[in-house]
Amino acid sequence: MIKYSLIYVSDSAEAMAGLIASELRPEAEVFHYKDLDNESIARLWRERAALIYLGACGIAIRQIAPYVQDKQTDPAVICIDHRGKSVIPLLSGHIGGANDLAKRLARIVGGYAVLTTKSDVEDLWPLDTLDRCMGWAMEPIERKEMNRLITLFVSRRPTLLYLGIRDRGTDYLERTAPEHVQIRSGKIDFQQENGYELIIAVTPEKIQLPHGVPAMVLRPKCLHLGFGCRQQANPEGIAPFIVHALSEAGYSPLSVATVNTITLKQDEPLLPTLLKAFPNSHKQIFSAEELEGISVSNPSDKVREVTGVDSVSESCAIAAGKGRLLIPKQKGVLTEGSHFTFALADDLDMRREGHIEIVGAGPGDPDLVSVRGRQFLERADLILYAGSLVPIALTECAKEGCVVRSSANMNLEEQFELMYQHYLRGHLIVRLHTGDPCIYGAIQEQMAYFDRFGLSYHITPGISSFQAAAAALRSQFTIPEEVQTIILTRGEGRTPMPEKEKLHMLAKSQSTMCIFLSAGIVEDVQKELLMAYPPETPVAACYKLTWPDEKIYRGRLDQLAHIVKSNGLTLTTMLVVGKAIDNRAGLSRLYADEFKHLFRK
């Protein structure tokens, strides 16, 4: 679908128009200014998301002037000078996306986005598009009132930001809140809050705002509706009934993220009616097997006999968000034969309570933790890091008052108890593991505890030491048409290996093998590998990858044990085996002539 129309004024800008079109392809088309009559401009104005002029602003303004109507509906209009130095949003900066598109275009041509919207100049949140940016819904606000809110905010008047949930959007607001914004959460009586000229609230709950204080209420999608009904129940009136019931219970219908039921009910006419009533939702269908074992507050023998579960509405709502029931099963009959039930649950991962983020620290260099991981470290109330495996330098970005502890001398129960005590206080906890947590990260046992106690947790991946090894060795671990597999494994020490995963079995593939946690048993590792790899196979022993004292030792497979022992290498050593080490032969088919046409589209 064509979204962008590039209109160049002078012939000198034609090449730049083509360059931009190639970057926006297949969503862009190019026109010469003089080839567009009034009818053509009117059509582009109606059909395109953006008009991009390459030439003087005056020419662009004169051509679009007759069609400008409303910033809510007008397309984005951007002007770029013929040398690509200035990229200027002329129209629909926030609502139409012109500001963001201007930044993208500036990166393409190597110019500067000239933004004049005050919120951009002041580096403040764009209130009129905050809901769209964060994936929330906004309670309706008249345009005049929205302009008033924006004026107050960009004038840096005292603002109260109330956060009733936690998601990526609220994380961003907390991280970027300007000085005139005070953040609150938990139980709060808005009527008693004084000194604020603006309130911004992100919550699924109905709130009583103080009279006379301008406010914006944003609805995160964090509620899950479960329903059941009699076969072919008449849906008439049921959706408005449920919407009203949610509102009466204090929850906004705009925050309903999913409408859920069991496979047996997926073709009921009530389902599309409910999806229409909750416009921000999508459907989820669960099998009886998926719902088995979910504890419900209102079990029914009759429902189990028909469906195989104790309660369709409750179990589906709980399964969707893995949370708790906010509205237990409610029954209704509006017309003859229209028996139905519904229940509402929250989303475990979005509760404004304690949260545990398992963060991959990367191989050691503090600069190699992910941006997201770094942000969690900066906001954490407790950082529990994996002692001798994670450099303490990674924790130096912790905020004032954060508790930073090493888990090196703690057993699993002690680690959990420390995290649990902070969790009960509503704290953000970072469990910092070396590399990527999913690779020998020992997180499975911890997650079992988290699941048992119903705790909110999430995993932020990290760069693994095998990736750091490839970078340090300046090697691509795959060779076109020769080696297309990378094996991540370990030698057999105190932890037995499955027979089919023993090193001599894996070595038969002649793949690139990255062997973790095995420097202490290197003689056994070498012996097993020599059962399949040739003695001259390249190897590398990589010690403390990306740490200040990193060391790399290369050699042949039949020298591996000697390399490790003679250099006193320890458990922080990655062993790499395979012909891909230092390989420069072989051409990827990506660069073959037969595929060049793919890059010309």
Residue 130 to residues 4, 146, 280, 499, Cα–Cα distance (Å): 24, 12, 16, 55
Average pLDDT of the residues in 274-300 = 94
Average pLDDT, whole number, for the chain? 93
Residue 444: predicted pLDDT: 93
> At CA 481, angle to CA 478 and CA 482, rounded to 5?
60
pLDDT at 248 over 80: yes
Q: Which residues pair with 86 in a beta bridge?
A: 112
Specify the residue for token string 């002539």. Answer: 593
pLDDT at 506 over 60: yes
Tokens linked to 409: 């001398």
pLDDT (tens digit, 9 = 90+) per residue, 258-282? Answer: 999 999 999 999 999 999 999 999 9
pLDDT at 589 over 80: no
pLDDT (tens digit, 9 = 90+) per residue, 177-192? Answer: 999 999 999 888 888 8
Residue 373: predicted pLDDT: 96
pLDDT (tens digit, 9 = 90+) per residue, 188-239? Answer: 888 888 899 999 999 999 999 888 899 999 999 999 999 999 999 999 999 9
The pLDDT confidence band at residue 117, using thresholds 50, 70 and 90, is confident
Q: What distance in Å separates the CA atoms of residue 306 and residue 339, rounded to the nearest whole number?
A: 15
Residue 76 to residues 30, 101, 428, 438, Cα–Cα distance (Å): 16, 8, 40, 44
C-beta separation of 280 from 221 below 8 A? yes
Residue 571, classed as helix, strand or coil, is coil
The pLDDT confidence band at residue 121, using thresholds 50, 70 and 90, is confident
The pLDDT confidence band at residue 464, using thresholds 50, 70 and 90, is very high
Beta strands in 364-402 (DSSP E): 382-385
Alpha helices by DSSP H, listed for 230-345, are 238-248, 270-277, 288-291, 301-307, 312-321
With a pLDDT cut of 70, the percent of the chain lying above it is 97
pLDDT (tens digit, 9 = 90+) per residue, 340-389? Answer: 999 999 999 999 889 999 999 999 999 999 999 999 999 999 999 998 88
pLDDT at 477 over 60: yes
**Burial class of residue 476 in the structure, from the number of CB atoms within 10 Å of its CB (0-12 exposed, 13-18 middle, 19+ buried):** middle
Residue 336: predicted pLDDT: 86
**Cα-only R_g, the chain:** 30
Average pLDDT of the residues in 2-29 = 94
Average pLDDT of the residues in 442-451 = 93
The pLDDT confidence band at residue 285, using thresholds 50, 70 and 90, is very high
- The tally of CA atoms less than 13 A away on the side-chain side of residue 120 is 16
Residue 186: predicted pLDDT: 86
Specify the residue for token string 């129940």. Answer: 233
Q: Which of 249-258, 442-451, 482-491, 582-591 has the lowest mean pLDDT?
A: 582-591
Average pLDDT of the residues in 111-140 = 92
Q: What distance in Å separates the CA atoms of residue 84 and residue 446, rounded to the nearest whole number?
A: 54
Residue 118: predicted pLDDT: 84
Average pLDDT of the residues in 302-306 = 91
Give 152's contacts (C-beta < 8 A, 6+ positions apart): 159, 197, 198, 214
Domains and CATH numbers, the chain: 4-116 (3.40.50.11220), 129-219 (3.40.1390), 223-350 (3.30.420.180), 355-463 (3.40.1010.10), 466-577 (3.30.950.10)
pLDDT at 448 over 70: yes
> At CA 448, angle to CA 464 and CA 405, rounded to 5?
60
pLDDT (tens digit, 9 = 90+) per residue, 410-427? Answer: 999 999 999 999 999 989
Q: Phi, psi at residue 578, to the nearest 5°? A: 145, 160
Rounded to a whole number, what is the distance in angstroms from the first to the last CA of the chain?
14
DSSP 82-145: TTSSEEEEEE-SSTT-HHHHHHHHHHHHT-EE----HHHHTT---GGGHHHHHT-EE----HHH
Residue 601: predicted pLDDT: 46
C-beta separation of 433 from 359 below 8 A? yes
Residue 304 to residues 8, 48, 218, 308, 404, Cα–Cα distance (Å): 68, 53, 39, 4, 49
C-beta separation of 223 from 204 below 8 A? yes
Residue 481: predicted pLDDT: 86
pLDDT at 592 over 70: no
pLDDT (tens digit, 9 = 90+) per residue, 50-95? Answer: 999 999 999 999 999 999 998 889 999 999 999 999 999 999 988 8
